[in-house]
A and B are shown apart, each in its own frame.
Chain A
Amino acid sequence: MSPAEPQRKLAPPGAARPLHQPGPVYHQPEPAGRAAEPERRHLRLVERPRRGPVYLRRLGLALLVASLTLLGLGLVALHALSAQDQFTLNQLQDQAASAQAAYQRLRLEVAQLEAPARIVSVAEGKLKMVQPGSVTYLPAPRPAAPGAASGPASGPSPAGASRGGTSGRGVVPAPLGDADWPAIKPYLTPRP
């Protein structure tokens, strides 16, 4: 311990302190100037060396070069990205135009395939179909009144249209409403 270190008296651990006994006295350390300067050679402040203008110029130049390099690289990257996007855009536009053209071509092809002249040509030329000489019309039975019971109805019968059987030439049992519709419908729909 150095001589300048304040002394204090401490009660031994575990000893009870008397009630009126004054507490420990702490001495303020004396100012450094008053005491003798200790030798502190091994702990001293070291001033940083002052940077000269040459150093600053070099640093600025380096920063400028780095910035310009980064800027250049950024511009190149941006340009590359732009070019890439432009290329992609052109590709997409070409694809869209091609798809639209393909759609129009397919639309034309479908229309040509559906043209009546082609259908007739294929039917008559390739499939050896012939135009009908005449058309036979088969009258459908009259519709039954709602709730009416089945009964005889006048009128000719379409061949095979009645499942109830004919009771005589041109006389068929009245159809039973919707039940007979599948048999009647083929005679009412237009030809394909």
Chain B
Amino acid sequence: MLACLGGISAKLLLVQGVDASTYQAHEVSEDLEQLTLPAERGAILDRNGDELSLSVPMTTVVADPYQVVNPRQEAMALSSVLGAPEPVLQAELSAPSAFVYLARTIPDAPARKVEDLLAAGQLAGVYTMQEPKRFDPAGQLAAPLIGVVGADGQGLSGLEYQYNQLLQGKPGELVQVVDPAGNQIPGGVRQYRAPVPGDDLVLSLDEPLQYDAEEALARAIVAAQAKSGMALVMDRRTGDLLAVAELTMPSAQEPATLQEPPALPVWFVPPGSSTGAKGGSKGPGIAREQPVEAPSATAFTSVYEPGSVQKLITMSAALATGAVVPSDTFSIPDYYNVAGTNFYDAWAHPTLHWTVSNILAHSSDIGTIEIAQRIGMGTLVAYLHSFGVGEKTDVNFPGESAGLVPGPSQWSGTSIATVPIGQGLAVTAVQMLAAYNTIANGGVYVPPRLVDGYIGPSGHEHLFPAPATHRVVSSRVAQEMTAMLEGVVRVGTGQAANLEPYTVAGKTGTALVPSPTGGYENNNYVSSFAGFVPAEDPAITVMVVVEGTHQYGAEASAPVFAMIARDALQELGIPPHRPEPPVPGVPAATPYGAEGEAAGPALPGLQGAPDVQVEGASATTSTSRAGSARPAPTTSTSQAGSARPAAPGSTSRAGSVGH
């Protein structure tokens, strides 16, 4: 008896005294529950506050296999509810682990059935928990821009990745003592730190406009039998990107996750298809003819040779430097030799005598080369950079490309012929859009914006500061360019973009696609159209790019420009109007180019030129960022502002063909 009591006492002493800390730690490890409370990820909104992406807590079914009494019976019960094979569930419920996922973020209906089974006591060791799931209410609309969120709530691509810190918030923590069933023991340890929800991101996109752009672009891709396309709409004044449509035809190379039903509830039949059958379908339920969202934001990340839309910069530089005026006449031969290489226009013609305006209207490569030779390669490249080509935009989109502008060490004898007509350099679509927007803004470059601001926990919107602008060409040059671009649509290659009674200023572009084996592919173009509307007081700038087509920009892209611009003007409530004589007492519309602007680096033609009367005003409104946003063009040549050489007329036959 005494020995027994002694043994018990010894054990008691051992447990309560000597090994007390060990047992206490063991108790704490079993009873003390430490939970990380996920913060609610902020939503991504369009400029009107409509949700493009948001998180909703959903039910996740988990299990502790050590507590499961009858894995087979529970697997049978769960199989029909979760839609998972019974053997798989049974294997998970029998796994040698204390935690397994059975189904994550399931819909509400099966979640309620699981709760009913749990309440009936049929699922021992099975629990439910809440996990946020990311939804895109508008389907795949603008998906390449928005990006993807992983299962752990981390942004993996696009804006979800770029603004992950802002969106994800701060997770909370809960430490509490629980009983074996997981219920909190009253009076026990309890520490709670509430999670801080993420902020809502407000984009510059306009959801209806984005849909209109995607729909029009999808039709264009189908009609042109193209591989992919982009369509961008920009607010002329603020640089806000109102729509960025990026579509592609599905291919076997794309991840299966991208071959989901697209946001467009329309069915396209390509021209020449007799049946419109779903032939060539690559994915489940996806026809070859149905464009889908591009795998990435190609408007920022993908570069291409722009072709003739680049002539805007060439002409602007020539006008700004005083090398030409719109009425100057050039002799346009059938072909033109530069450094031993013959260059041709897209159509055969006898020697023509065209003004600068006509050269642009009819997109003559030879005429443009002749003009470019007056300003020189250095000045042209300086203007390219000032227009934003070769520089990343302030959007700083993940994976954004700066474009490819050949430096002086890369110039060849034919560079002065290829670069002015948009070959031999590469741009992103948003860069070229911003270049056209510069002319629409009276010569002031307004950086593109994709994110306007964010909405914090207080519900107030915090706007990001507007990026600094800088002047590229004078307002007089911008007006001359606008008039010339109007001519392109009125009588030139861009007549398909005509949008009467609106006035359109724009330019077509058709660039050959480089071949992987060198040279260019035949009958394979990047066709584009860029412009702004209404020309007399621009509201929006639009860019359409159709890639991998056999059609020229005038056919493939200009009509799409008109469709998108028409919808955008109606959406924005901009009536068509022509400048009318002022009515006494009625305030006149603000002329474009008269807004405040920041002074940029002086370009050849802007220094001391007679048409820079706005410069004084721009200098007074310069900001601290002005001047540092763009590198100073140090490659300007002595041709700027110099006397114009005689129009070249010498020709020599040799070499290859250029468009």
Q: Which residue of B lies closest to A85 (CB)?
A: B186
Chain B: how many interface residues by the 8 Å CB criterion?
40
Q: Is the pair B55, A117 in contact by a Cβ cutoff of 8 Å?
A: no
Q: Is the pair B139, A105 in contact by a Cβ cutoff of 8 Å?
A: no
Q: Is the pair A115, B187 in contact by a Cβ cutoff of 8 Å?
A: no
User: Using Cβ atoms and an 8 Å threshold, which residues of chain B touch A112?
Assistant: 137-138
Q: Does B50 contact A (CB under 8 A)?
A: yes
Q: Does A86 contact B (CB under 8 A)?
A: yes
- Also in contact, A116 and B208, with CB within 8 A (given A79-B187, A145-B586): yes
| Distance between B56 CB and nearest chain A CB, rounded to angstroms | 4
Q: Does A146 contact B (CB under 8 A)?
A: yes
| Distance between A168 CB and nearest chain B CB, rounded to angstroms | 20
Of A31-39, A59-67, A183-191, the one with at least 4 CB within 8 A of chain B: A183-191
Interface 1/0 per residue, B480-523 and A, CB below 8 Å = 00000000000000000000010000000000000000000000
Q: Does A23 contact B (CB under 8 A)?
A: no
CA distance A144 to B586 in the complex (A): 8
Q: Does A69 contact B (CB under 8 A)?
A: no
User: Using Cβ atoms and an 8 Å threshold, which residues of chain A touch B208?
Assistant: 116
User: Using Cβ atoms and an 8 Å threshold, which residues of chain A touch B571?
Assistant: 190
Q: Which residue of B lies closest to A146 (CB)?
A: B585
Of A1-9, A10-18, A46-54, A132-140, the one with at least 4 CB within 8 A of chain B: A132-140
User: Using Cβ atoms and an 8 Å threshold, which residues of chain B touch A125?
Assistant: 265
Q: Is the pair A116, B141 in contact by a Cβ cutoff of 8 Å?
A: yes
Q: Is the pair B265, A86 in contact by a Cβ cutoff of 8 Å?
A: no
Q: Is the pair A145, B54 in contact by a Cβ cutoff of 8 Å?
A: no
- Also in contact, A140 and B137, with CB within 8 A (given A104-B55, A135-B570): no
| Distance between B443 CB and nearest chain A CB, rounded to angstroms | 30
CA distance A71 to B212 in the complex (A): 75
Interface majority SS (helix, strand, loop, mixed), chain A = helix
Q: Does B397 contact A (CB under 8 A)?
A: no
User: Using Cβ atoms and an 8 Å threshold, which residues of chain A touch B584?
Assistant: 145
Q: Which of A86, A100, A137, A187 contacts B186 (CB 8 A)?
A: A86
Q: Does B596 contact A (CB under 8 A)?
A: no
Q: Is the pair B207, A116 in contact by a Cβ cutoff of 8 Å?
A: yes
Of B161-169, B539-547, B575-583, the one with at least 4 CB within 8 A of chain A: B575-583
Chain B 163-188 residues near chain A, CB threshold 8 A = 184, 186-187
Q: Is the pair A117, B211 in contact by a Cβ cutoff of 8 Å?
A: yes
CA distance A82 to B185 in the complex (A): 10
Count contacts between A and B, CB distance < 8 Å. Answer: 100
Q: Is the pair A190, B583 in contact by a Cβ cutoff of 8 Å?
A: no
Q: Which residue of B lies closest to A147 (CB)?
A: B585
User: Using Cβ atoms and an 8 Å threshold, which residues of chain B touch A190?
Assistant: 570-573
CA distance A142 to B43 in the complex (A): 44
Range of interface residues on A (Cβ < 8 Å): 35 or more
CA distance A120 to B265 in the complex (A): 8
CA distance A121 to B265 in the complex (A): 6
Q: Is the pair B186, A82 in contact by a Cβ cutoff of 8 Å?
A: yes
Q: Which residue of A lies closest to B183 (CB)?
A: A90
- Also in contact, A117 and B50, with CB within 8 A (given A104-B56, A189-B573): no
- Also in contact, A90 and B51, with CB within 8 A (given A101-B130, A121-B265): no
| Distance between A174 CB and nearest chain B CB, rounded to angstroms | 10
| Distance between B498 CB and nearest chain A CB, rounded to angstroms | 13
- Also in contact, A142 and B139, with CB within 8 A (given A101-B56, A105-B56): no
Q: Does B457 contact A (CB under 8 A)?
A: no
Chain B 116-165 residues near chain A, CB threshold 8 A = 130, 135, 137-139, 141
Q: Which of A85, A108, A118 contacts B56 (CB 8 A)?
A: A108
Q: Is the pair A101, B583 in contact by a Cβ cutoff of 8 Å?
A: no
| Distance between B215 CB and nearest chain A CB, rounded to angstroms | 8
Q: Does B264 contact A (CB under 8 A)?
A: yes
Q: Does B659 contact A (CB under 8 A)?
A: no
Q: Is the pair A97, B54 in contact by a Cβ cutoff of 8 Å?
A: no
User: Using Cβ atoms and an 8 Å threshold, which residues of chain B touch A137?
Assistant: 501, 575-576
Mark B residues whose CB is within 8 Å of A.
Answer: 40, 43, 50-51, 54-57, 108, 130, 135, 137-139, 141, 184, 186-187, 207-208, 210-212, 263-265, 501, 566, 570-573, 575-577, 580, 583-586
Chain A to chain B contacts (Cβ below 8 Å), 26 pairs: A82-B187, A86-B187, A90-B184, A97-B57, A101-B56, A101-B130, A105-B56, A107-B43, A108-B51, A108-B56, A111-B50, A112-B138, A114-B50, A114-B137, A115-B137, A116-B138, A116-B211, A117-B141, A120-B265, A125-B265, A135-B566, A144-B583, A147-B585, A190-B570, A190-B572, A191-B570
